[in-house]
Structures are given as structure tokens and as C-alpha cells.
Amino acid sequence: MTCLPEQPEFVNTSEQLVWQTLRDTLPPGALLLANRRVTDRTKDHEADLVVALPGYGVAVLEVKGWGVEHDGRTWTIERHKKRVPIDPVAQARDARYALRDYVGRDPRWGSRPTLRWAHLVVLPRRTLPADFALPDCPRWMVVDGEQLPSIAEHLTDVLREQINGHAVPDTGDVALLEEVLAGRPLPMRDLLDEAAEREDRADRLTQQQAVILDAITLLTRVEVRGGAGSGKTWLAVEQARRLTRAGKRVALTCYSRGLSAFLERRCASLPHNERPAYVGTFHGLGLRWGAPPGDDDDPEYWEHRLPTQMVDLARALPPGQRFDAVVVDEAQDFADAWWTPLLAGLREEETGGVYVFSDEGQQVFSRYGRVPLALVPIVLDTNLRNTRPIAESFKSLTPLRMRISPVDGPPVRFVACTIEDVLSTADDEVDRLLERWRPQDVALLT
């Protein structure tokens, strides 16, 4: 059974309740779509839920929650202590025909016949009498709270009896229906706009995690753990910004030069009074303190000699050059010996702020260092920065079980090739991507 999106966002708990029930009870091969919108020349339509069942048909569901009534003439719902007229039957019916016509006009549907469609109203918070009936809404067209546990079975019954000469979908029809309702490929400009919108949505979701920093305001020794895409780096920058704004002298540091450059760009955009005193690599901090530079091809210098020198340099720092707090991003890249100079650079080594952001699933450099402090652990368990298809594709590669991003995106495409052809195949795929994307939008990971 396929859910699109896998973790949709709903405007009320009633829609979520119905979606969860369908997700748990629909048979294999079914398709469950949430919040599906379609626009025609008359108006915008939205189907709360769409269920496609191979062997039966397609059902469009309009869900209404608390406070729904029908006085014999009009549907109403309570909003702000007032009765407001609504028409859930018309909403479901209009969305049904708008979606059916959209599918039928899509070139990919071709000469396939029109499928069997139905529309229903779901009232999960109400119990309707058995004799309820309206001219445009017989009792079987409404699913109430008592029927909700068996809604999947009810939909199959309704569609089975929908004898209107239209075709019953097979699994191929349902798969194509999923593809058609996802839309047709966009030109490059629309692709870029859509990608920017997904990034903005991910940024908003990440910013909502700032509540975690509110919760640790009184704590000075904290480790925030999270997998790739959980928003750790955003939180690290935000924590450094907050501490600096509060008058603290802060170091925001990491191991890799690439991440350091990103942190520097982010902090450069902050107001002057919110920029940390130091933003850069751990080793760059040693050079700032006066250590002699070394060669890039001398690992002994970077791994051991420089960190050892940094301990003495840190202990000799005047009070004005020490830090009230250090914020370390991607701390899993740090070796054990690197923490000693960092702590020695604090004004108060025993009580100064130490905020660590780490992901043991991304131990690229195999140092396996451990912070020599008792830290309060905070866990980020949702992949917010990657779209749902990307997060789904790579979730098996991380040891931390994470919830999947609610941000939808294009499907992931796997390209099969032999080991000998990996480089040439990757080159071909990059060239293909560059036909529709800008170079700065494509990343090649090895």
C-alpha cells in the first residue's frame, strides 16, 4: 500500500484520524493520497483523501470534524461559536469530477477508459442514525465514527456497487493514476522555483526546532544528537547566535574546512552583535592562538602536534581572549585529545558552556573521540532537511532510527551499472542533470 505523501500534514485531527485508519486497514496495492488539489477554469478543488483500490475503483473523501450538523436543509459547522453553512457533499462531488477529468485529459492516460469513481463524506466525530438520507447523499455515502474502523471495507462495498459502465482499475491503472496526480515534468525555471520552495519549507521546519534551545537555556553542558538532515547545524549556529547576543564570548567550531566555510557564511549574515567571536575550524583556532602552520600532507601535525601545542597556548590566553562557551558542530569528527585545548580556552573550564552537536552515523574520519564531560543528551529524531523520497532511500544507512521528512519531492532514481562503469555512468548522469539544473544545484558525492 502506497501513501502520498507518507507523512502528510493535516489542518485538523479528524483528517489525520481518518488517514491513519485507512493507512492501517487498506489492502496491499491500494493508493492513499492526502490533500490532493486540482484547479480547473471554474475554481480550485481539494480532496481531503483519495483512495484507489485495484479491482474496485477510486473514492474521493471529504472529511469533517467536530460540530457538523444537518438541519434538514443545510449542512453547518460550528466556528467561533457560530453556525456556518458548508456543503461537504458538493465539495466531495466537485473534487471527484475535477480529479477524474484531470486524469482523463493527461496525455499519459491515453486511450485508457474512464475509471469507476465515487465520492463520500466522512464524519469521524459523529454517529448518524440508520435512516439518515438526503437526496444527494444517501446513508451509504456517509461514514460516521462507528463505521470508521471498517472504512476500508465500506469503500470496497461502495465501489463494487457503483455500476455506471466505467472501468475497474487494475494495478497498472493505479500506478499510472499515482504518476498522473503527481503532475507532469516542469521546465527548468519551475523546477528551480519548486526546489527553492522545498528548501524554504525545510528551513521553516528546522526553525521550529528552536524550541529545543529554549528548553536548555539554563543548561551549560549539552549534547544534541541527530542523523543527517535533522537540523543540527542550524541549531548549532542558532545556539552560538543566542549566546553571543546574551553577551557571551563564543567559539563556533568544527573539523572540516567545507563546513567551516558554510558556518562563516551563515554567521557573516548575522547582525554584528550576534556574530560569535570565533567561527572556524578547530585547527584554525590553534593558528589564531599563535601556533605555527603546518603542511596539509602532514597528518601527525594536525592530529597530534598542533592539538598538543594548543593546550599550552590556551592556558596562556589572557581573560579577554578566552571564551564563555564553545559550540562544536559535527563533534563526531573530533579526536579525544582535541577536547583538552577547547576546554582550556574557556574562562571557566569547569562551568563554561559546552554545546556539542554530533551524529555517530557520520564518523567519516574514524577518530571515535568522546567528550570528556557529563553532557545532557538531546535527540533529534526527524529528518527535516531532505525530502521524503531522499530520506526514504537512505534511511537504512544510518544507525539512528529517524522519522521521515514531511516535505515531498521528486522520486529518487537508482541507476544500475557494473563496477567498471561507475565513473562513466556517473559522468553521464551529471550531464543529464545539467540539462535541466544549474551547476550549483548538482552535488556529486563519492
pLDDT tier at 120 (50, 70, 90 boundaries)? very high
- Per-residue model confidence (pLDDT) at position 363: 53
Contact (Cβ atoms closer than 8 angstroms) between residue 389 and residue 409: yes
Return d(Cα 174, Cα 178) in angstroms, integer: 6
Q: What is the pLDDT of residue 434?
A: 82
Query: Between 96 and 439, where is the model more confident?
Result: 96
Q: Which residue has the higher pLDDT, 208 or 289?
A: 289
234 and 124 in a single domain? The answer is no
User: Is 162 contained in some domain?
Assistant: yes
Residue owning grid cell 480529479 = 99
For 394, other C-beta atoms within 10 Å of its C-beta total 15
Pick from 342, 370, 385: which residue ends a domain?
Answer: 385
Lowest mean pLDDT among 96-105, 223-232, 394-403, 435-444: 394-403
In a domain, 51, yes or no: yes
All cell numbers assigned to 160: 463494487
Query: Residue 129: is it exposed, middle or buried by C-beta count within 10 angstroms (0-12/13-18/19+)?
Result: exposed
DSSP single-letter state for residue 11: S
**Mean per-residue pLDDT, 417-446:** 84
Is 120 in the same domain as 196? no
Q: How many CA atoms lie within 13 A of 424 on its CB side?
A: 5
- pTM of this structure: 0.53
Q: Tell me: do 338 and 264 sit in the same domain.
A: yes
Whether pLDDT at 368 is above 70: no
The amino acid that residue 338 corresponds to is: W
Q: Is residue 416 part of a domain?
A: no
- Residue 232, judged by CB atoms within 10 A of its CB (0-12, 13-18, 19+), counts as buried
pLDDT value of residue 205: 63
Residue reference for cell 475497474: 168
- CA–CA separation, 260 and 280 (whole Å): 5
Residue span of the structural domain in which 94 resides: 2-184
Question: Do 228 and 124 have their domain in common?
Answer: no
Angle at the Cα of 418 from the Cα atoms of 415 and 419, rounded to 5 degrees: 110
Q: Looking up cell 457560530, which residue turns up?
A: 82
- What cell numbers appear for 354 in the block? 559546552
Q: Is 125 in the same domain as 274?
A: no
Grid coordinates 593546550 are at which residue? Answer: 311
Transcribe 59-86 into DSSP letters. EEEEE--TTEEE-SS-EEEEETTEEEEE
Dihedral angle over CA of 79, 83, 86, 89, nearest 10: 110
Question: Are the beta carbons of 360 and 332 closer than 8 angstroms?
Answer: yes
Q: Please give the mean pLDDT across all residues of the chain.
A: 87
Is 392 within the bounds of a domain?
no
Torsion sign, CA atoms 336, 341, 342, 346: positive
* pLDDT at residue 186, as a whole number: 46
* CATH code of residue 91: 3.40.1350
Residues 375-384 as b or e (16 or more Cβ within 10 Å = b): beebebebbb
Q: Can you read off the three cell numbers belonging to residue 239?
A: 545556539
Span 204-210, average pLDDT: 71
Mean pLDDT of 291-303: 90
Task: Please give the grid coordinates belonging to residue 126.
Answer: 459523529
User: Region 366-386: what's the mean pLDDT?
Assistant: 78
Residues 82 and 162 in one domain: yes
Q: What is the CATH number of the domain that holds 305?
A: 3.40.50.300
Tell whether 283 and 375 lie within a shared domain: yes
pLDDT of residue 399: 64
Last residue of a domain, one of 143, 168, 184: 184
DSSP state of 225: E
Structure confidence by residue, pLDDT tens digits, 342-356: 999 999 999 999 999
The pair phi, psi for residue 345, each rounded to 5°, is: -85, 0
pLDDT of 108 higher than 50: yes
Cell 557529563 belongs to 374
Concatenate the DSSP letters of all residues of 236-277 into one string.
Answer: HHHHHHHHHHTT--EEEEES-HHHHHHHHHHHHTS-GGGS-S
Q: How confident is the model at residue 280 (pLDDT cuts 50, 70, 90)?
A: very high
DSSP classification of residue 37:
E
Instruction: Read off the pLDDT of residues 227-251 as tens digits, 9 standing for 90 and up.
Output: 777 888 999 999 999 999 999 999 9
In a domain, 293, yes or no: yes
Among 349, 161, 329, 174, which residue's Cα sits nearest to residue 256? 329
Within-domain flag for 400: no
Q: Which of 335, 359, 385 is the last residue of a domain?
A: 385
Residues 329 and 300 reside in one and the same domain:
yes
Query: Cα 29 vs. chain centroid, distance in angstroms?
Result: 25
User: Is the same domain home to 255 and 110?
Assistant: no
SS3 of residue 403 by DSSP: strand
Closest CA to 359 of 377, 339, 386, 337: 377
* 391, part of any domain: no
Q: How many domains does the chain have?
A: 2
Give residues with Cβ within 8 angstroms of 290, minimum separation 6.
313
Question: Are 359 and 272 contained in the same domain?
Answer: yes
What pLDDT sits at residue 393? 77
Cell of 106: 493527461
pLDDT in tens, 22-76: 999 999 999 999 998 888 777 888 899 999 999 999 999 999 988 888 888 889 9
Find cell 545532557 and name the residue.
376
Residue 251 lies in a domain: yes
C-alpha to C-alpha distance for 184 and 104, rounded to whole angstroms: 14
CB 114, CB 93: distance < 8 Å = no
Question: Is the distance from CB of 331 to CB of 259 less than 8 angstroms?
Answer: no
| Whether 404 contacts 392, CB under 8 Å | yes
Q: Do 332 and 201 share a domain, yes or no?
A: yes
> How many CB atoms sit inside 10 A of residue 439's CB?
8
180/196 same-domain check: no
342 with 371: CB under 8 angstroms? no
Q: What is residue 395's predicted lDDT score, i.e. its pLDDT?
A: 72
The winner for highest mean pLDDT among 81-85, 200-204, 207-211 is 81-85
